[in-house]
Structure 1
Amino acid sequence: MNRWIQTIPLIWALSWVSVAAADNHKDWRKDGTLEEKVAHIIQTLPSTANIMIEIGKRYQDLYWAAKLGKWEFAQYQVEEIEGLLEVLQITRPGRAASTQVFLDKGLTGFEAAFKSKDWNTFSRAFQNMHAQCMSCHIVNDHAFIVLPVAPAASSSLILNLPQK
């Protein structure tokens, strides 16, 4: 108990030191110049890798949603992939042209698949998307990133697949 009483003033003093130290840092959001604010905001934009991780998850979910006949959820994945790629075009202008090629060619066939709710129609659209993904990876010097034609699993709670 005596040791605890001796520790309380030390904790109190350290907390004040940390508060004082925090006050010495300028908050660029409030006090920064316009150039500083823009530079910091640009640094916080998601990288291509961040966006591709999200797209990869949706790629898996798309495949398994269709495989399980959850067509509305599958369609949602295509819409989200398209939206993520549009964000990529804004945040990474150097990849805008190759992303547009993918948007023009990689998502064709899904509308017919979702309308017909037919696995074979979906499978052709998905294989086309896979081929366009790989073409885009090659154009962007990332040919070493090879997607499976048929993802082995999905971690989506909505699909409720057993986890390995």
Structure 2
Amino acid sequence: MTSRCFVFAMLAALASGSLAATAAGAPAMAQQPNYARTDNNPRLADIMEAARVRHLKLWFAGKAGNWDLAAYEANQIKARLEDAASLYQSLPLSDVTAMAAPIDALAAAIAAKSPAKFTAAFDHLTAGCNACHQNNERSFIAIRQPTSQPFSNQVFEGKR
């Protein structure tokens, strides 16, 4: 996947909070880029919500040392970002290089099975997402390291 695709996808996350932002006094949607649904494509906000869920699950997989699950979730994030980039080609290219380094660092940390490198790479990825949001008038969408595990029906520890 190209760096351009990652930027497209990360920028897609920007669309997911538009209605809440208007309600909170943020600029009206008419003043912000329009990433409206086209044809039968899934809504951009829905694609990015799927990526956010994978981001959360990635964290718990990595913290549990389940590197196979972490790699799977990282690949799912990558796939959601690729979906957004291919379906919403009008997304701006302003942050093309912003996500390449965090994604590469995350893949390397998972391959190394290093908890310390994983945490640093995860934080780098998260910062890249937030920077993309800020650069594209979506600073009201901010993500962070998860603080609680909402998936009580999934085992993150893996087989030992």
Count of matched residue pairs = 121
Query: What is the CA distance between 1:156 and its match in structure 2?
Result: 6.7
Displacement of 1:45 in angstroms is 0.5
Classify the secondary structure of the residue corresponding to 1:43.
Answer: coil
Q: Equivalent residue for 2:111? A: 115
2: CA distance, partners of 1:99 / 1:93: 14
Structure 2 match to 1:78 = 74
Can you give the 5+ residue segments of structure 2 that lack an aligned partner in the other structure? 1-36
Distance in 2, matches of 1:115 and 1:160, equals: 17
Structure whose residues are more often helix by fraction: 1
Q: Which residue of 2 aligns with 1:94?
A: 90
Q: Return the offset for 1:47.
A: 2.0
- Distance in 2, matches of 1:44 and 1:156, equals 33
Between the aligned partners of 1:160 and 1:118, the Cα distance in structure 2 is 16
Whether contact under 8 Å (1:106, 1:133) holds in the other structure is no
Partner of 1:138: 134
Deviation at 1:49, TM superposition (A): 0.6
Distance apart, 1:148 and its partner CA: 1.8
TM-score computed with the length of structure 1 as normaliser: 0.65
Q: TM-score by structure 2 length?
A: 0.66
Closer, same or farther: CA 73–61 of 1 in aligned 2, 3 Å: same
Q: What stretches of structure 1 of length at least 5 have no aligned partner? A: 1-40
Judged with a 3 Å threshold, the aligned counterparts in structure 2 of structure 1 residues 79 and 100 are, in CA distance, closer, same or farther, namely farther
Verify the 8 A CA contact 1:45 1:91 in the aligned structure 2. Answer: yes
In structure 2, the residue matched to 1:126 is 122
Q: Secondary structure at the match of 2:122?
A: helix
CA distance change for structure 1 residues 137 and 156 in 2, over 3 Å: closer, same or farther? farther
Over 3 Å counting, the alpha-carbon distance change for 1:124 and 1:70 in structure 2 is: same
Structure 2 letter corresponding to 1:141: E
Higher RCO (CA-CA < 8 Å; seq separation 6+): 2
Aligned counterpart in structure 2 of residue 63 of structure 1, from 56, 59, 66? 59
- Cα displacement (A) at 1:96: 5.5
Identity of aligned residues (%): 25
- Equivalent-residue separation in structure 2 for 1:120 and 1:151 (angstroms): 17
Does the 8 Å contact 2:66/2:156 carry over to 1?
Answer: no
